[in-house]
Amino acid sequence: MRPDYTRFDNVARELGCACLREEPMSRHTTFRIGGPADRFLTVTDEKQLIGLLQILREERLPWLLLGNGSNLLVSDQGIRGAVIALSGDFSRVELLPDGETVRAGAAAPLASVCAFAREHSLSGLEFAWGIPGSAGGAAYMNAGAYGGEMKDIVKRVTHLTEGGEVVTVSCGELDFSYRHSRYTGGSDVILSVEYRLVPGNREEISAKMEELMGRRKEKQPYDQPSAGSVFKRPQNGFAAALIEECGLKGRKIGGAQVSPKHAGFIVNTGGASCRDVLALIDMIKEKVAAEKGTQLECEVRVTGEAE
Domains of the chain: total: 3
Query: Do the domain assignments include residue 52?
Result: yes
pLDDT value of residue 57: 94
Three-state secondary-structure class, residue 188: coil
Three-state secondary-structure class, residue 1: coil
Co-location of 127 and 199 in the same domain: yes
Co-location of 137 and 63 in the same domain: no
**E strand intervals along 210-259:** 226-229, 252-253, 256-258
pLDDT value of residue 107: 97
Co-location of 125 and 196 in the same domain: yes
Co-location of 178 and 265 in the same domain: no
Query: Do the domain assignments include residue 214?
Result: no
Q: Are the C-beta atoms of residues 280 and 256 closer than 8 Å to each other? A: yes
pLDDT value of residue 295: 96
CA 216, distance to chain mean position in Å, is 18
CATH number of the CATH domain containing 262? 3.90.78.10
Mention every residue, 6+ apart, whose C-beta is less than 8 A from residue 124: 117, 152, 153, 195, 196, 197, 198
Residue after which a domain boundary falls, among 176, 206, 236: 206
Q: How many residues does the chain have?
A: 307
Co-location of 100 and 66 in the same domain: no
Mention every residue, 6+ apart, whose C-beta is less than 8 A from residue 215: 146
Residue after which a domain boundary falls, among 141, 172, 206: 206
Query: Do the domain assignments include residue 216?
Result: no
Residue after which a domain boundary falls, among 86, 118, 146: 86
Co-location of 277 and 231 in the same domain: yes
Co-location of 69 and 142 in the same domain: no
pLDDT mean values, one per 10 residues, the chain (307 residues): 89 96 97 97 96 95 92 96 96 97 97 97 96 93 92 97 93 94 93 98 97 91 93 90 97 97 97 97 97 95 86
Query: Do the domain assignments include residue 215?
Result: no
Q: Are the C-beta atoms of residues 195 and 211 closer than 8 Å to each other? A: no
Co-location of 298 and 255 in the same domain: yes
Residue range(s) defining the domain that contains residue 25: 6-86
CATH number of the CATH domain containing 137? 3.30.465.10
Please tell me the pTM assigned to this model: 0.91
pLDDT value of residue 307: 58
User: Mind telling me the catalytic residues?
Assistant: 179, 229, 299
